[in-house]
Amino acid sequence: MNQPSSSPLSTETTRQQKTGFALTVVTTVFFMWGFVTVLNDILVPHLKALFDLNYTQTMLIQFTFFSAYFLMSIPSSRILARIGYQKSIVTGLGVMSMGALLFFPAAGIPSYALFLTALWVLASGITLLQVAANPYVAQLGAPAKASSRLNLAQAFNSLGTTMAPYLGGLLILSDRAGTATGAVLSSDQVQAQKLVDAATVKSPYIGIALTLFILAFAISRFHLPSLPDIEEGHGVSIGDSIWRRRHLVFGAIAIFVYVGAEVSIGSFLVNYFSQPNIGGLTERAAAGYVSFYWGGAMVGRFIGSAILRKLAPGRVLGCAALVASALVWTTVAASGPLAMWSVIAVGLFNSIMFPTIFTLGISQLGPLTGKGSGLLIMAIVGGAILPVVQGALADSIGIHLAFIMPAVCYLYIVFYGFNGSRVVRPAIAR
């Protein structure tokens, strides 16, 4: 006797359950790379004081970290094409774990060069995660809801970025306002103090390494659904190229300036809030306010996920960028609480930018999605270059006026949202 075949309804329900489960699993990855990335905002003032650096030298932290995106995006795209999405995610977590472990010897010496090496390895792992996880989530369901879906996943990334400054401030930063000033220390005392200060990063990063290793092992045991429609080599037309896709190329520029602006702002907030005419806060107290900046991004992504189900992503992006630029211009023109809270509020409007630019950029790429994702992730190098530019501005014209740079960056994103993100299909030779 023949068994009754599964009904289309039950098959669709099973598919949706598998998709929902896969989205839940991958979302944990978004949380972890957000947490690890924003710990850099705590390392910036910590290592600045530890190694007596100026602002330009300190921004080598972000330069080293985000340069990995530029250098490792193409290799990551090739790894993705060779081993697939799930194995790429597991590999990326493993590389991140190794980078986190390098903080132990870096703090033991202590060595600024070794700290930068550890950050580069850590970021290389995150690059592979970004190349694999962002398009995977964007394509894991109906195309019309790709921006909404990626915003939801990125909301958990923002949960990590919100928690990291607060916890990192407690574990890594000291309350420098409470230390004695004017005391003359011998060279041995200075070296001993430097070892004590450097050692505060050991426990947090060892904990991160263990967590990443456990997460990599857990995800390797799951079965994530494959996405053959966007795998490289399936249906690519002769003569087609990612460089012929206007919305993708403009999107890469938008990612460059967005990440550069977001990272520049976050990197300077602790020092900015410590200024007497802005907040006059200790570093530890200022780190708590940095959590509000990243917390705004988390709240905004949950809200944005709902809004983007009903409104055109390009228009939402353009409006958000316009408000963000206005807020940064406000902090440049103001002082005191207004300057503090206007720049903190930028985080709320940053919220939908990266996932929305990303989904608009890879829209309708089909089998070129992997390469397009690699190009967009490569553009995250803006987080390496623009903070150094703002650091140089801060050294020359002051930390307050240096915020002019991110204000200008947001104006390009206004253009991309309203015009540059339109899909114009190129003429393809067949």
Residue 426 has pLDDT above 80, yes or no: no
Task: Give the side-chain half-sphere CA count within 13 A for 335.
Answer: 7
pLDDT of residue 13: 59
Mean pLDDT of 15-41: 81
pLDDT of residue 159: 84
Mean pLDDT of 210-237: 74
- Residue with tokens 């003032």, as numbered in its chain: 45
Which of 35-39, 89-93, 426-430 comes out lowest in average pLDDT? 426-430
Which has more confidence, 368 or 123? 123
Which of 41-50, 100-109, 355-364, 413-422 comes out lowest in average pLDDT? 41-50
pLDDT of residue 141: 73
Which of 98-102, 191-195, 342-346 comes out lowest in average pLDDT? 191-195
Which has more confidence, 426 or 103? 103
Which has more confidence, 244 or 405? 405
Give 16's pLDDT tier (boundaries 50, 70, 90): low
pTM for this structure? 0.74
- Domains of the chain, earliest start first: 18-221+229-420 (1.20.1250.20)
Give 238's pLDDT tier (boundaries 50, 70, 90): very low
Residue 80 in contact with residue 370, Cβ under 8 Å? yes
Which of 49-53, 158-162, 251-255, 333-337 comes out lowest in average pLDDT? 158-162
Residue 268 has pLDDT above 70, yes or no: yes
Torsion of CA 147, 149, 154, 158, to 10 degrees: 110
Tokens of 66: 């985000």
Which has more confidence, 419 or 237? 419
Residue 135 has pLDDT above 80, yes or no: yes
Tokens of 366: 């089909």
Q: In terms of Cα–Cα distance, which of 119, 99, 128, 284 is closest to 206?
A: 99
Alpha carbon distance 148, 45 (integer Å): 35
- Kindly report, residue by residue over 374-404, the tens digit of the pLDDT: 889 889 889 888 998 999 999 999 999 999 9
pLDDT of residue 235: 46
Residue 136 in contact with residue 266, Cβ under 8 Å? no
Residue 95 in contact with residue 207, Cβ under 8 Å? no
- Kindly report, residue by residue over 156-168, the tens digit of the pLDDT: 888 887 888 888 8
